[in-house]
Structure 1
Amino acid sequence: MTVPTIPKVSNGAGKRRPTIDDVAEAAGVSRGTVSRVLNGGRWVSPDAHASVTAAIKRTGYRINVQARSLATSRTGTVAFLLTEPHDLLFEDPNFSILMRFAADALARDDISLVLIMASNADEQRRALDFLGAGHVDGVLLVSSHSGGQGFVGAINRLGLPAIACGAPIGFERTMGWVAADEEQGARTATEYLQQIGRRRIALIAGPQDTSGGQQRLAGYRAALDGAFDESLVAIGDYGRSSGARAMHELLERRPDLDAVFAANDRMAAAALGVLQASGRAVPDDVAVVGFDDSPAALETSPTITTMRQPFERISREMVRLLVGEIGGERPAAITIPTELVIRESA
């Protein structure tokens, strides 16, 4: 007795996955040409590149990431390593802006970006374990403090390509970095206030355990030259509450001040609110200048004059230097100019 064969119903699950040979046949080129296109397109003519790209779409070919990783010792992934508290990722728009632009720049090289938070000892230990296990090809290090030199040093010792946003204190010569020219930017902001006739210019400085905080204070001092007065300086931490606290402190100490330069826009916005609550008109009684040109500078009335940091270019240069390091280039550092944006507060 013959047992009837039950016909198989295809649900697509058994369909053979397209291979590099299928792409080569569809494109009418050699397997090696397809391989060169998949690995960056070097030594491939424009016509062959276009044929291979079209064949990849037509066949539905997908790169076997695990196989490529084994062959190249690359993961195709970069870490965005943030050493600030978690809430700052959402409170401070600068971090999300940097991350978005970095992701866009990496995507052009078909590299993925993963976010790693490392604000405390436990998170930093886990981050080092993850990085050391070879899960990423490199690191974009954002916001390093002098108190975290041990962590930065540990990253350095991994031998993993890394680029910092801002000069990493203590590692300026051993780690690549990209930074705005923060000292010159602060000097420009202070000199602008002098040019519009302000003489008692206060500073709400950023945290002095960061290169940005130190350099913006240095630029302010340089502009004032011999007229620097320590009673006109208060230290904040870049947060709004610290800006308000510093402004109260400055008004109590120096009620005669006629201008305030805050080391970022969020502190400038908070200072502006305190000044208005105290009965001082901005800019008539007290002029206010911030730093960053972040959304906070446009959320106040009056809007805030500020120093623009070119965040898109900073992100793009960080990615460029990191990709170069991953490819074997030596670490490098870049400083990018800032720009004065004049609005209503000064």
Structure 2
Amino acid sequence: MNTIAGHHAPTLEAVAEAAGVSRATVSRVVNGSPRVRGEVVEAVQKAIAELGYVPNRAARSLASSRTHSIALLVPEEVSRFFGDPYFASFTTGLDRRLADSEYVLNLVVARDDPDRKAVRYVRGGNVDGAIVVSHHSGHEFLAQLEGAVPVVFGGRPEAGISTDPYYVDVDNVAGGRLATEHLIGLGRRRIATIAGPEDMSAGVDRLAGFRAALDDAGLPSDAVGHGNFTAPGGAEAMRRLLDTHPDIDGLFVASDLMATGALGALATRGIRVPEDVAIVGYDDSPAATWGEVGLTTVSQPSELMGATTVDVLLRLLRGEPDVPHANIVPTTLVRRDSA
């Protein structure tokens, strides 16, 4: 017999008697069934609180084949994931939204997963669903998750990863265009970009928006460098751009973290921001306000994106019909000193 501190632990039957309902009704309330009237849910929850009833989650998981766990699968270097403020904010959004549910979040880091450990873990019944973030076009192993559990991607996945994915993203083409048009509106005419990785949809799409804005304005769009969404990568790309295009007067950088590196490289060469080169970043992360020059940036609400990703996955886990595959969160321009 179960006891707590020498006393009999309250049972499901005791809760049912206190609430004046059946044992089956209490079970449905405890398991979050939507098929219970609001006043009944309130009565059962009041009885649970008064009696101090604690559900046996292990037994419930065995009975329902549910683990009440969600995998956050990160096919990325650990230092990259933990060093980028975007991911910190995105994960905060995940965690805060999951706090209102019965699910816990399990972090699974698998850069290439050559032994398919991460895939086997997710497919092996250890989690009820998965969220995948920071995926690249070379991560075809993620396709093996399809059909095993509901999966939602943070960012639109490249072809080969999923045939009909559920994902949460911003319109990165529109964001790249918004940043570049702001620089054009300031009168800058030799505008360069430090684009993101070419194997990530965010890098490709932001570059496409940059080029579209310059093409529409009849301005050259050949000043392109590529970084890896890190500060050192942004600094190296900035140095290469200055060597090949010394007449740059405007710069769109596809992430705030890369922009901090670019600012350092410009300062080293005595180039003033914004007097000589106006800069617009992307993310509106804490990195945008780290330095002496506040960074004008395209805001993608990363915490909201994390919360929205959880919402989509929970809807799939509940078996709701007509859950949209593409879930797009709007961007805005945040103006600071750099442009």
Per-residue displacement from partner, 1:160-209 (whole Å, max 9, x unpaired)?
11000111101464221111111100100000000000000110000010
Identify which of 307, 320, 339 aligns with 1:316: 307
Query: Sequence identity, in percent?
Result: 43
Identify which of 257, 281, 284 aligns with 2:275: 284
Distance in 1 (alpha carbons) for counterparts of 2:83 and 2:187: 34
Letter in structure 2 aligned against 1:281: R
Q: Does structure 1 conserve the Cα–Cα contact (< 8 Å) formed by 2:190 and 2:219?
A: no
Q: Does structure 2 conserve the Cα–Cα contact (< 8 Å) formed by 1:175 and 1:331?
A: no
Summarize the Cα distance change of 1:12–1:175 in structure 2 as closer, same or farther, 3 Å threshold.
Answer: closer
Identify which of 64, 68, 76 aligns with 2:56: 64
Partner of 2:66 in structure 1?
74
CA RMSD, aligned part only?
Answer: 1.8
Partner of 2:189 in structure 1?
199
Letter in structure 1 aligned against 2:336: R
**4+ residue runs of structure 1 moved beyond 6 angstroms?**
none
Identify which of 172, 175, 179 aligns with 1:185: 175
Distance in 1 (alpha carbons) for counterparts of 2:245 and 2:35: 67
Q: TM-score, normalised by structure 1?
A: 0.91
- State how 1:54-203 maps to structure 2 within 5 Å: 54-122=46-114, 125-149=116-140, 151-156=141-146, 158-170=147-159, 171=161, 173-203=163-193
Q: Which has the larger radius of gyration?
A: 1
Structure 1 position 93, deviation (Å): 1.4
Q: Within the alignment, does 1:219 sit opposite 2:209 as a pair?
A: yes
Partner of 1:4 in structure 2?
none
The secondary structure found in structure 1 opposite 2:8 is coil
Q: Does structure 1 conserve the Cα–Cα contact (< 8 Å) formed by 2:188 and 2:250?
A: yes
Per-residue displacement from partner, 1:73-120 (whole Å, max 9, x unpaired)?
211111111111011232101112111211221222221111110113
Distance in 1 (alpha carbons) for counterparts of 2:175 and 2:325: 22
Summarize the Cα distance change of 1:114–1:293 in structure 2 as closer, same or farther, 3 Å threshold.
Answer: same
Distance in 2 (alpha carbons) for counterparts of 1:37 and 1:160: 24
Q: Which runs of no fewer than 5 residues in structure 2 stay unpaired?
A: none
Distance in 2 (alpha carbons) for counterparts of 1:108 and 1:12: 26
Q: Does structure 2 conserve the Cα–Cα contact (< 8 Å) formed by 1:81 and 1:117?
A: yes
Per-residue displacement from partner, 1:120-149 (whole Å, max 9, x unpaired)?
334x62111211110101000001101112
Q: TM-score, normalised by structure 2?
A: 0.93
Q: Which runs of no fewer than 5 residues in structure 1 stay unpaired?
A: 1-10
